[in-house]
Amino acid sequence: MSEKLLEIKNLKTSFRIKDDYYAAVDNLSLSVNKNEVLAVVGESGCGKSALAFSVMGLHTRAKIEGNILFKDHDIANISSNDLNNLRGNEMGMIFQDPLTSLNPLMEIGDQIGETLILHNKDLSAEKRKEKIIGLLDKVGIPRPERVYKQFPHELSGGMRQRVMIAMAIANEPELLIADEPTTALDVTIQSQILELINELKEDMNAGIVLITHDLGVVAEMADRVAVMYAGQIVEIADVHTLFESPKHPYTRSLLNSVPNADKAQDKLHVIQGIVPALQNLPREGCRFKARIPWVDDSEHEENPELHEVTPGHFVRCTCYKHFDFPESKEEQHGIS
């Protein structure tokens, strides 16, 4: 059993809508081991980014309950000073949209340099520049000396994401959070960036949390996968188990929705309905119930828990035992 790097216990991240708080991440427990890539998948609005932001302590207006244990600190209750010492140093983050994530008025070198200045005060200006150029080179940026002096608008999206990665790994963090790092990039660049993260993971010795909704990315990168739905983890397993024997209806529906090049398909599989808005989320019973109406109510648990199916493979609710895709195409309510 490998060592735990990050342990999240009963995390509840709630946002205020009008006068009430609604949990976007609801009672979630999860751990990330050293040298492991944990992928968190789920559709838009399931709370995966809220989870990532909670771990980085980036929420300014959310209410956070529970514990986020990392390196003798509980990020859920941490002083801003301690948090700033961790961020950029022990943990780094890569954001979704590299086009807007860099300060438009600062040279690339200065932006990466800021991370170094903040956490490594002894580094001389010369050494720092050397290190920044080394980092730029490491993330595959051609002519790093030139890019050092350039501004973000002079770089392409892929290059900017490489800069973001260089920034996140500048201080060799032990935990790297990548929040949909390839969503804003086009497909060819996506694979290059993933390749880069894969390469870095080898010599970085860090735990990586990869937030994504792209199952292709998951299959390529992850060691373990947590599937999130409506603020909860509905299934968690290592990547092989999850792809070979998915249990939860949501996981199976997701996997079923991926277009298959080998199989002739008339229509793509579509999961009925939509993710309910935060304030309309069912807080009791199986949260996925409304989207698989053909499964009988009695087959859901009243208070769905995570059940260990095989070692390390957890599934929420008992409904998975009775779930099957409807036979006829009409019942599926697919795209017409």
Question: Which CB, 18 or 153, lies closer to another protein?
Answer: 153
User: Of 168-197, which residues contact another protein (CB under 8 A)?
Assistant: 168
Tokens of 242: 């999850």
One residue of 27, 33, 35, 84 binding another protein per CB under 8 A: 84
One residue of 100, 156, 245, 310 binding another protein per CB under 8 A: 100
87 binds another protein per the rule CB under 8 A: yes
97 binds another protein per the rule CB under 8 A: yes
One residue of 12, 48, 119, 252 binding another protein per CB under 8 A: 119
167 binds another protein per the rule CB under 8 A: yes
One residue of 11, 68, 93, 233 binding another protein per CB under 8 A: 93
Map residues 211-250 to x or -, x wherever contact with another protein holds by CB under 8 A.
----------------------------------------
Interface stretch with another protein, choices 3-11, 26-34, 77-85, 213-221 (CB under 8 A): 77-85
Question: Which CB, 104 or 311, lies closer to another protein?
Answer: 104
Torsion of CA 99, 100, 102, 106, to 10 degrees: 100
120 binds another protein per the rule CB under 8 A: no
Question: Which CB, 81 or 336, lies closer to another protein?
Answer: 81
- Residues 18 and 277 sit within 8 Å (Cβ to Cβ): no
56 binds another protein per the rule CB under 8 A: yes
The 3-state secondary structure of the chain, one letter per residue = CCCEEEEEEEEEEEEEECCEEEEEEEEEEEEEECCCEEEEECCCCCCHHHHHHHHHCCCCCCEEEEEEEECCEEHHHCCHHHHHHHECCCEEEECCCCCCCCCCCCCHHHHHHHHHHHHCCCCCHHHHHHHHHHHHHHCCCCCHHHHHCCCHHHCCHHHHHHHHHHHHHCCCCCEEEEECCCCCCCHHHHHHHHHHHHHHHHHHCCEEEEEECCHHHHHHHCCEEEEEECCEEEEEEEHHHHHHCCCCHHHHHHHHHCCCCCCCCCCCCCCCCCCCCHHHCCCCCCCCHHHCCCCCHHHCCCCCCEEEEECCEEEECCHHHHCCCCCCHHHHCCCC
CA nearest neighbour of 138 among 200, 207, 205, 204: 200
One residue of 30, 64, 164, 233 binding another protein per CB under 8 A: 164
Map residues 250-289 to x or -, x wherever contact with another protein holds by CB under 8 A.
----------------------------------------
Q: Give the Cα separation of 124 and 245 in Å (integer).
A: 54
One residue of 21, 151, 238, 318 binding another protein per CB under 8 A: 151
142 binds another protein per the rule CB under 8 A: no
207 binds another protein per the rule CB under 8 A: no
Question: Which CB, 15 or 151, lies closer to another protein?
Answer: 151
Residues in contact with another protein by the rule CB under 8 A: 56, 58, 80-81, 84-89, 92-93, 95, 97, 100-105, 114-115, 118-119, 151, 153-154, 164, 167-168
